[in-house]
Every structure is written in C-alpha cells, then in structure tokens.
Structure 1
Amino acid sequence: MPYRTYHNYWVYILTNKPKGTLYIGVTGGLDDRMERHINEEGSKFTSKYNLKNLVYFEEFQFINDAIAREKQLKNWHRQWKINLIEASNPNWENLWKSLDPETSSG
C-alpha cells in the first residue's frame, strides 16, 4: 500500500436544532458521512434524534489527532460544546450545505 503524505480527517458536531441534541463524530470523508447521516444510514443515534445539521467541524491531517479531539469534546460539559459551536457559528447554520450545495439533499 502506498504511503500517503496527507489525508484529511474531520471531527464534527451534528444537531437537529439550535442548542438541541448534539452528536460528535470523526470521519475520513465528511461529504460521504454527511450523506449517510442525511439518508439515516449514519448511526442509530443520529437517525433516532433526526440529527442532520452540521454545525461545527475541525480538520486534521492525522487520524490519531482527530480521535483524540473527538474524545476530548465528548468529555466536555454541554455548555462548553455550545460555546464552541457559537464561537464560529452563532446562528447554528447547517455548514454542510454551504460546503457543497449541489450534492446537499437535506
């Protein structure tokens, strides 16, 4: 297998409404993962709570860094997560739509 010098990984937060239920995940393909969440194939938890709005994400080069950040965020108090989201996305806009509006189905 050839060695990749760079790959993208993302830690992301989904919700169903501003300050609603939050889901934190990590992925190596944000567009594909979002399509799966929107089609209710992403996880049972996101399907159950209708979590389809991407409100926050961070990009990493190394999967170990992304996993460490995911674990860190999952251990944060809820208000800290809300503050993190609102620092960069105060209106809780669905950021995934703005990444690629032509492929957005949600």
Structure 2
Amino acid sequence: ENMKGKEPTICKKFRRIFRNAGYKTYLVNEFRTSKLCNCCNGELELFLEKPSKKPKRKGEKELCYGILRCHSVKHKSEIYHNRDKNAVQNMLKIVKSIFNTGKRPEIFCRSC
C-alpha cells in the first residue's frame, strides 16, 4: 500500500538497483496517461462488463477497468487498448517530448 503522491516502495527498490548498475532513472507523472489514446490522444472509455466477484453483488455486472475503447473519428474503426500498455506508450511520448523540447506535452498537463 502506498500513500497518494508518494512513490511505492517496490519502485524505490527497482530505481536503486538500476542506479547501482549505472543507469539513470526518472520518475514520470502518470497524469492522464491511461485516459488518452496513445494513437490519437482521444478520450478512452470503459465499455466491457464482467460478472462481479464480490459476494454481496453476486449476479451483478461491473465495468472492467483493464480494457478501454477509443471511438475517435481519426480511426477507421474502434480501437481497444490494454490500460497499462496504453499508459506506458503515453509515458514514452512524454519522455521523448521532455528530451526533445524540454517540456511535457500539453495534453498531459494538469493546467489543461
């Protein structure tokens, strides 16, 4: 369990391992990385329903948070994304932008 705004302990351990091996490590703010399509920057939506695993909600459906859908008109058809993979692709965009321009892309900024 980790506190809001704090780095999880496991991340600290991995960062230390990589630093000790001679690699530079960076922290990336995850703001909006899993909410925006990594292809078109369109808003992603929850759509997949699955049976609830909670005993009190037996027989009810709940939304699956791991698979998201993009309806953007920029795509010829719907695109489905694994939430974590999509977030990593967006983090790569952020890192490339910071190295190339010195700034984070506006769509991933809190001021937008």
Task: Answer yes or no: same fold by TM over 0.5.
Answer: no
- TM (norm. structure 1) is 0.30
- TM (norm. structure 2) is 0.29
Greater helix content: 1
Higher relative contact order (CA 8 A, sep 6+): 1
Greater strand content: 1
Q: Bigger radius of gyration, 1 or 2?
A: 2
